[in-house]
A and B are shown apart, each in its own frame.
Chain A
Amino acid sequence: MTTRDIVLIALFAAIIVVLGLIPPVTLGFIPVPITAQSMGVMLAGCIIGAKRGALAYVLVILMVAIGLPVLAGGRGGLSVLVGPTGGFIFGWVIATYVTGLIAERAVREGQSELRQFGGFFLASVFGGIVVLYAIGMPWVSVVTGTPFLTVASGSMVFIPGDLVKAAIATLAARAVLVGYPLLPHRA
């Protein structure tokens, strides 16, 4: 791990923290307002890749654990980690890793624009939605005793918003790939 990798991990963790400070945006066609921080998993995986992205989230969780209010809405501390949705927070690390793995393999410089969009969108949806919910939902179910199918069907409310986030993350990741490519140089 080079010094540059450590700096990139730290800067991205700082970006994730700042995304939590930005007020949520409401889009006309979706009732749930979009918090920029919840796009972090997709952005980290698609922009700095699997290993560095996952480590950026390890750093964020470390900050939550030691009592810094780094999550959206000024939340933090051990109480957030032991709550029913703790699985989603720990799941960020693996979800980012999977997003990064797919993005690193599916997207290259010099591909057509459309293929890059497709690659980033696939990575964001699979890593940032499928993998994340696959960890977070069973956790909720085990901790609260709510039947898994109820948790799963309840979570469907968030899917449209998550797809919008995946689309925004895709566009942002491709803009960064064009402006300042980091993904090809893996850690």
Chain B
Amino acid sequence: MLTSLYIEGHTLFHRLSVRVKLACLLVLSLLLFAVSSLWLLVPAFALSTGLYATTGLSLREGFSRVGFVFFTILFLGVVNLFLLPPLEVLVVVIRLMTLVLFAATVTATTTIDAFMDEITVLLMPLERIGLVRAADVSLALGLVLRFVPEIFARYQAIREAHRARGLPLRPLTIIGPLIILTLKDADMIAMAIDARGFRRH
């Protein structure tokens, strides 16, 4: 149900470390907003598109992943055409698309494991001052992945219950029971975690 957006492969981008990729993304976003010459933006866009195309995504999947964000960018671009000089609009559209394609490339070439390792490193300073514990973050993430299918099954059961009674599906009559049924388990899950000594200090 929650399959990662990672695509298996052995390209240069797959082999780069997450830290380098995230640093590139950060630097690229700063550079892109500093530059407004099409002579630089168009090659950058071509490069981003090229990188994204070599991740091993099928054409259809590649389009569908960035499609929604591209739609918003183009929609705002069309609105901008009535308000700003056309050249400026083109600069904005290309800049944003370049950034989005690069970000999508990072996502497609990085595993969840690698991301989590990096997050643990990034959390270290916060952990040292006692603000957050990296182990708690991974525990919470694990719980979410574990419970999404279960909560979805609960939603389906509630939907069937509506059908059996001939009731229309309304957000209100779904959300209330779904939340109460789910959160009622919290105490048991917390007890089970404590019983296993996961969070010993």
Contacts and interface: CB of A to CB of B under 8 A. Distances in A.
Interface of A: 1-4, 6-15, 17-19, 21-22, 25, 34, 36, 39, 43, 47-48, 59, 62-63, 65-70, 73, 75-85, 140, 143-147, 150, 154, 168, 171-172, 175-176, 179-180, 182
Interface of B: 1-6, 25, 29, 65-66, 68-69, 72-73, 76-77, 79-80, 83-84, 88-89, 92, 96, 99-101, 103-104, 106-108, 110, 112, 115-116, 119, 136-137, 139-141, 143-144, 147-148, 151-152, 155, 169-172, 174-176, 178-180, 182-187, 189-190, 193-194, 199
Given A22-B174, A77-B65, A175-B176, A69 B151 contact: no
A22 B88 CA distance: 39
B176 A176 contact: yes
A162 B178 CA distance: 21
Contact of B103 (A43, A73, A77, A144): A77
Given A3-B193, A176-B183, A146 B72 contact: no
A179 B51 CA distance: 52
B5 A76 contact: yes
Contact of B76 (A19, A59, A140): A140
Interface of A is mostly: helix
B174 to A, nearest CB: 7
A172 B172 contact: yes
Given A11-B183, A11-B186, A78-B106, A145 B92 contact: yes
Contacts of B108: 67, 77
B142 to A, nearest CB: 8
Contacts of B187: 4
Contacts of B89: 145
B179 A15 contact: yes
B63 to A, nearest CB: 12
A162 B40 CA distance: 41
B65 A171 contact: no
B2 to A, nearest CB: 5
B172 A171 contact: yes
